[in-house]
Amino acid sequence: MIEVVGLEKIYSAGNVATPVLKGIDFHIDRGEYVAIMGTSGTGKSTLMNILGCLDKPTAGRYLLDGTDVGSLDDDALSHLRNRKIGFVFQQFHLLERATAMRNVMLPLIYADEYPEDAEERAERALAAVGLADREQYRPNELSGGQQQRVAIARALITDPEIILADEPTGALDRKSGLEVMAIFKKLHRQGRTIILVTHDRAVAENAQRIIVLEDGKVAEDGAVGSQRDPDLELERLGTGEDKR
Ligand SMILES: Nc1ncnc2c1ncn2[C@@H]1O[C@H](COP(=O)(O)OP(=O)(O)OP(=O)(O)O)[C@@H](O)[C@H]1O
Ligand SMILES: [Mg+2]
């Protein structure tokens, strides 16, 4: 579903060129759950922006479902993005003055065609992340974990095949982080492809596979021996069995 070949990204500012991605190759199948790790500044977000069709590589190829993304113009790119990809970020990027409902409906408002059942879809998406009772709350009336769940509901509203999450637990406490990971687990079970960036090895072990970037290249790419179970960890946390 996702294939990158010799992917490179060089940022140019004035006459200074900064090479960030220096030849990345991998293949991600439909329905895979992959974590991307690597030290700060190594190009994880840069790679995610390219995978999410928000940015184009300087060299190399990115094939999304067989389409060479590099050959698309901006309109075609944003069309592909809106149809296939849902984003979740570390800082939730919610509109402060809009209710949870309104925030979740935003991608539909920007869609090619506004669906008649937008409100019902938003209600369902909020219910799916356990926030049916918070529809009319604004971001500053929600906890960080709840805000991130609104952001996930917003990512789900267009029913994307691929979820790209850049440090989705980075701003959350452990319990809220586990709740978010439990939602990702559910989305993966539904057959979605999930690509998650994290600094935290424990978070990465929720995935089936970990790709480690180092100095703009793939340093490691391997299967996770035994995937963590966020539901189980939440249960332990609830019973006080887990003192961490
Ligand atoms: N728009 C940009 N213009 C110029 N340089 C950029 C731009 N975006 C990122 N960079 C540079 O690219 C490098 C990689 O940045 P990137 O955000 O991809 O790292 P990261 O791995 O996501 O780091 P972190 O873990 O801190 O989020 C950094 O050195 C950064 O300064
Ligand atoms: Mg980053």
| pLDDT tens readout for residues 132-168 | 999 999 999 999 999 999 999 999 998 899 999 999 9
Residues in the chain: 244
Distance between CA 178 and CA 195 in Å, rounded? 17
Q: Which of 81, 48, 50, 82 is nearest to 168 (CA)?
A: 48
**Is pLDDT above 70 for 244?**
no
Does the beta carbon of 43 lie inside 6 Å of ligand 1? Answer: yes
Q: What is the whole-number distance in angstroms between the Cα of residue 47 and the centre of ligand 1?
A: 10
Distance between CA 123 and CA 130 in Å, rounded? 11
Strands 2-13 and 59-64 come out as: antiparallel
Q: What is the whole-number distance in angstroms between the Cα of residue 172 and the centre of ligand 2?
A: 16
Q: What is the whole-number distance in angstroms between the Cα of residue 180 and the centre of ligand 1?
A: 25
Q: What is the whole-number distance in angstroms between the Cα of residue 45 and the centre of ligand 1?
A: 7
To test the pocket of ligand 1, the residue of 9, 10, 11 to mutate (highest count of ligand atoms within 8 Å of its CB) is 11
Per-residue pLDDT, 243: 60
Does the beta carbon of 214 lie inside 6 Å of ligand 1? Answer: no
Per-residue pLDDT, 110: 79
For tokens 């989705």, what's the residue? 168
Residues 214-239 pLDDT 10s: 999 999 999 999 999 999 999 999 88
Residues 18-48 pLDDT 10s: 999 999 999 999 999 999 999 999 999 999 9
Four-residue CA torsion sign, 199, 200, 205, 207: negative
Per-residue pLDDT, 209: 98
To test the pocket of ligand 1, the residue of 45, 58, 200 to mutate (highest count of ligand atoms within 8 Å of its CB) is 45
Confidence of residue 79 (pLDDT cuts 50, 70, 90): confident
Per-residue pLDDT, 3: 97
Per-residue pLDDT, 242: 72
Q: Which atom of ligand 1 is nearest to the CA of 43?
A: 18
Q: What is the pTM of this model?
A: 0.93
**Is pLDDT above 70 for 5?**
yes
Cross-strand partners of 17:
12
Q: What is the whole-number distance in angstroms between the Cα of residue 45 and the centre of ligand 2?
A: 4
Contacts of 115 (CB under 8 A, 6+ apart): 108, 121
Residues 181-214 pLDDT 10s: 999 999 999 999 999 999 999 999 999 999 999 9
Distance between CA 176 and CA 71 in Å, rounded? 40
Sequence spans of domains, the chain: 2-239
Per-residue pLDDT, 240: 80
Superfamily of domain 2-239: P-loop containing nucleotide triphosphate hydrolases (3.40.50.300)
Distance between CA 158 and CA 47 in Å, rounded? 22
Q: What is the whole-number distance in angstroms between the Cα of residue 50 and the centre of ligand 2?
A: 13
Does the beta carbon of 40 lie inside 6 Å of ligand 1? Answer: yes
Average pLDDT over residues 94-102: 96
- The residue nearest atom 29 of ligand 1, judged by CA position, is 41
